[in-house]
Amino acid sequence: FLISQMSGGKMMNFGKSKAKLVNKENSDVTFKDVAGVDEALEELEEIKEFLAEPEKFKAVGAKIPEGVLLYGQPGTGKTLLAKAVAGEAGVPFYSISGSDFVEMYVGVGASRVRDLFEQAKSNAPC
């Protein structure tokens, strides 16, 4: 009760990830919402198919990718592309900002990274 009153109940979540989960039922971003990155969309279409129907690819012996790295300048649409892939494939999407990992106490940021990966693994594919 005391901890709950002092910190709004968040003291026990000190090292927990602040990631926002967008459930597959709530995702309304699709490839139609993304413009100007046709080459990236073509590449991500294949990833979407892997996520949506992994059994089809496993049956022919394909190795399913374990992740994708999107890189580029800020504001170029990386997060929107990732949300669109998740929306198209019907899988959960986790969104977190790099600044959410920066904390004044040593180890908290690393703990949040570990927690985020644990959450993602428990909801795979995402």
pLDDT digits 0-9 by tens, 63-115: 877 788 889 998 888 989 988 988 888 888 888 777 777 776 777 778 888 88
pLDDT confidence of 9, banded at 50, 70, 90? very low
**d(C-alpha 112, C-alpha 64), whole Å:** 26
User: Is the pLDDT assigned to residue 8 strictly greater than 50?
Assistant: no
Residue 96 near residue 18, CB atoms below 8 Å: yes
Closest CA to 44 of 68, 73, 17: 68
Q: How many CA atoms lie within 13 Å of 56's alpha carbon, on the beta-carbon side? A: 7
pTM value? Answer: 0.66
Whether residue 41 lies inside any domain: the answer is yes
What contacts 15, CB < 8 A, 6 or more positions away? 107, 108, 111, 112, 115
108: its two tokens = 């908290």
State residue 12's pLDDT score. 47
pLDDT confidence of 24, banded at 50, 70, 90? low
Report the CATH number that the domain containing residue 51 is assigned in CATH. Answer: 3.40.50.300
Question: What is the tally of structural domains in the chain?
Answer: 1
**d(C-alpha 77, C-alpha 71), whole Å:** 10
* Nearest-5° Cα angle at 19, 17 to 25: 135
Which residues span the domain enclosing 98? 15-122
Whether residue 3 lies inside any domain: the answer is no
